Structure 1
Amino acid sequence: MTDQTPQASTEIPDHSDYWDAESAERYDEASAFMFEPDVLDPAVERLAELAGDGPVLELAIGTGRVAIPLAERGIEVAGIELSAPMVEVLHRKRLGLPVRIGDMATAEAPDDGPAIGAFSLVFVVWNSLGNLRTQDAQVACFANAARHLAPGGRFVVELWIPGIRRFPPGQDAVPFHVGEQHVGFDTYDMTTQQGTSHHYTRQPDGTVRYGSSNFRYAWPGELDLMARLAGLDLEGRWADWHRAPFTNDSESQVSVWRKPSGAR
Structure 2
Amino acid sequence: MSFDASEYGRYVAEVYDETYAHLAPDAAVERLAALADGGPVCEFGVGTGRLALPLVARGLTVAGIEGSPEMVAGLRAKPGGDAVEMAVGDFAQTRMPGEFALVVLAFNTIFALPDQAAQVACFRNAAAHLRPGGRFVVEAWVPDPGAFRAGGALRPVRVAEDAVLLEVALLHPAEQRMTTTKVRFSNAGVRLLPANHRYAWPAELDLMAELAGMRREHRWEDWTGRPFTDDSRDHVSVYRRPERP
- Pairwise same-fold verdict (TM > 0.5): yes
Q: Deviations over 1:122-164 (max 9, x none)?
A: 0100001111011110000000000110000000000001222
Aligned to 2:172: 189
2:21 to 32, 40, 51: 32
Aligned to 1:204: 187
Q: CA deviation at 1:15?
A: 6.0
Q: Show structure 1 runs of 5+ residues with no match.
A: 1-12
Q: 1:227·1:257 contact (CA, 8 Å) conserved in 2?
A: yes
Give the match's secondary structure for 2:53.
helix
Aligned to 1:177: 157
Give the match's secondary structure for 1:71.
helix
Aligned to 2:93: 106
Aligned length: 239
Q: 1:66 to 1:20 in 2, by over 3 A?
A: closer
Q: Deviations over 1:1-48 (max 9, x none)?
A: xxxxxxxxxxxx6264613456312211122122x3xxx100000000
User: Aligned pair 1:121/2:93, yes or no?
Assistant: no
Q: Show structure 2 runs of 5+ residues with no match.
A: none
Q: Under a length normalisation based on structure 2, what TM-score does the superposition of the two structures give?
A: 0.91
Give the match's secondary structure for 1:191.
helix
Q: 1:257 to 1:152 in 2, by over 3 A?
A: same
Aligned to 2:8: 19
Code of the aligned partner of 1:26: V
CA distance in 2, matches of 1:196, 1:176: 16
User: Aligned pair 1:49/2:34, yes or no?
Assistant: yes
Q: 1:233 to 1:20 in 2, by over 3 A?
A: closer
Q: 2:228·2:235 contact (CA, 8 Å) conserved in 1?
A: yes
Percent identity reads 44
Aligned to 1:74: 59
Aligned to 1:3: none
Q: 1:177·1:185 contact (CA, 8 Å) conserved in 2?
A: no
Q: CA deviation at 1:89?
A: 0.8
Q: 2:217·2:238 contact (CA, 8 Å) conserved in 1?
A: yes
Cα RMSD, aligned residues only:
1.8
Aligned to 1:220: 202
CA distance in 2, matches of 1:19, 1:185: 16
Q: Which stretch of the first structure deviates more once superposed, 217-226 or 189-198?
A: 189-198
Q: Under a length normalisation based on structure 1, what TM-score does the superposition of the two structures give?
A: 0.85
Higher share in strand: 2
Q: Deviations over 1:207-232 (max 9, x none)?
A: 43333211110001110110000000
Code of the aligned partner of 2:145: I
Q: Which stretch of the first structure deviates more once superposed, 180-189 or 47-56?
A: 180-189
Q: 2:56·2:83 contact (CA, 8 Å) conserved in 1?
A: no
